[in-house]
Structure 1
């Protein structure tokens, strides 16, 4: 009875420590004013994006059912004016948030999974395995990520998931280097040596010891990477490599350029998507920097 209870009580103790650590991180995070402001703004933007079908019915953006004037400045009923097809710029901005945030989060998830796995492998294994993994990481660090993403988006069929794959596959190398350095630091600690002496294998060491220790660092890096993914998506859509059937902030800027809205002085169609990109990226940066200062003892002391 007591023997069977020990593993359970041990797991409960570990879970309790992790909950206490998470609570401590949250308490430290809410003390950073910039991080809280960024998190609140992000929450508002995400809620608006989720409620887009309710706030702006898709039928209202159907060009076959629109009677509003084209390229009209802000007026009652159209707070941000209309686009070259007579659609509400505010409605397009709300719907564009769905695609831009989806690509940002999904591409970052792909990047974090690849980068975390590769980084832990590069820091844990030795010999030829480490050399091969490091050469792969160096290759993706040297090759410009945006150029590689453009190539992948051009080769694959155009679509939102193509952009997600292109951004995720080309933006993981930086995370891998950071995770590798953290893995080397963790595996130099005495409890890892004790686990090895007791017969722990690679899967146990990486899954039970290394991964939980690097996750806070990965979380802080994730919030910063999402902003870069949003910019990358906007760039690819602006270059015409996005899904033409989906509205995103990058495609809005491309339409503004193609239709001459930017040169004709139709500021109400050019500024909103550009400012939306800036605000979202700034919010992710504020949250990421705040998390980084909380999770990094050196920055916290400063």
Structure 2
């Protein structure tokens, strides 16, 4: 792995550690607006490194608390998206006929429509919550994975050793499990790493639009709160920059790791 990939992996390790330790680092009543006694819109200083928000809560603690939510939604939505895309790609590449044609038409339908618009529509119709955000992102961002997996499946199944396996009596389960999936999984893992970055951006966008879970703190929800309560007129840059920088840094880290893994998996590219 190159230096950029190692740097991205180090950043992700720190983010994961923060997400795990956030319940210990953030006191239970520190983010309760009914118990906070600090002044609102307090600029960064000795007491609060990143200042306070409109309710007097520490922005640093809010960012720490939001790390776990953003990473959880990004990871779970990426797993759902990549899982659906892999299933559709393998099935449409392995089986021909009407079934493959139907799967391709469904994939094309989701490719044509903007995934963010579909995610907004689903988030509006379904009940508010983290599960809805995961479903909205996962169910609308799988077509690119399906296309990639289908192309790889067709390439693998055109090779002589797969033809020999079929000639020796290997069925669909044998061909897919022993030959197709082992060749597809490395590319799927690379795509999953990049999908996490896209899912975090999508979650932040939905939360910024007010479609996130109102009971959970995430980086996108912090940006929504900053916009809703007038951080710009208050010139409270310390409430806007930290969650935005956190999103950019973590997304960049996932992208660097994904590109580094891609160079390892497919060195000729």
Tell me whether the two structures share a fold, i.e. TM-score over 0.5.
Answer: yes
1:94 is matched with which residue? 64
Structure 1 SS opposite 2:30? helix
The 5-angstrom pairing of residues 222-301 of structure 1 reads 222-299=192-269
Question: Which residue, out of 170, 187, 190, partners 1:220?
Answer: 190
1:178 aligns with 2:148: yes
Structure 2 SS opposite 1:170? coil
2:3 is matched with which residue? 33
1:197 is matched with which residue? 167
Rg larger in structure = 1
1:149 is matched with which residue? 119
Partners in 1 of 2:224 and 2:237 — Cα distance?
14
Structure 2 SS opposite 1:58? coil
Structure 2 SS opposite 1:262? coil
Partners in 2 of 1:224 and 1:280 — Cα distance?
11
Deviations 1:91-139 (A, max 9, x none): 0001111110000000000001100010001111111111111101111
The 5-angstrom pairing of residues 131-142 of structure 1 reads 131-142=101-112
The structural deviation recorded for 1:65 is 1.1
Partners in 2 of 1:112 and 1:179 — Cα distance?
10
1:108 aligns with 2:96: no
Question: Which residue, out of 24, 28, 35, partners 1:58?
Answer: 28
Deviations 1:226-270 (A, max 9, x none): 111000000000111111111011110011111110232100000
Give me the CA root mean square deviation.
0.8
The structural deviation recorded for 1:201 is 1.2
Greater relative contact order: 1 or 2 (C-alpha under 8 angstroms, separation 6 or more)? 2
Partners in 1 of 2:232 and 2:142 — Cα distance?
34
Deviations 1:180-222 (A, max 9, x none): 0000110011111111111111122112211111000001111
Worse-matched range after superposition: 200-209 or 66-75 = 200-209
Structure 2 SS opposite 1:180? helix
Partners in 2 of 1:207 and 1:60 — Cα distance?
51
Structure with bigger helix share is: 1
Q: Which runs of 4+ in 1 moved over 2 A?
A: none
Partners in 2 of 1:263 and 1:207 — Cα distance?
59
The 5-angstrom pairing of residues 15-26 of structure 1 reads none
Partners in 1 of 2:125 and 2:239 — Cα distance?
31
Question: Which structure 1 segments of 5+ residues have no match?
Answer: 1-28
Partners in 1 of 2:114 and 2:33 — Cα distance?
38
Partners in 1 of 2:233 and 2:256 — Cα distance?
33
| TM-score with structure 2 setting the length | 0.98
Partners in 2 of 1:264 and 1:92 — Cα distance?
19
Partners in 1 of 2:9 and 2:247 — Cα distance?
16
The structural deviation recorded for 1:77 is 2.4
Structure 2 SS opposite 1:297? coil
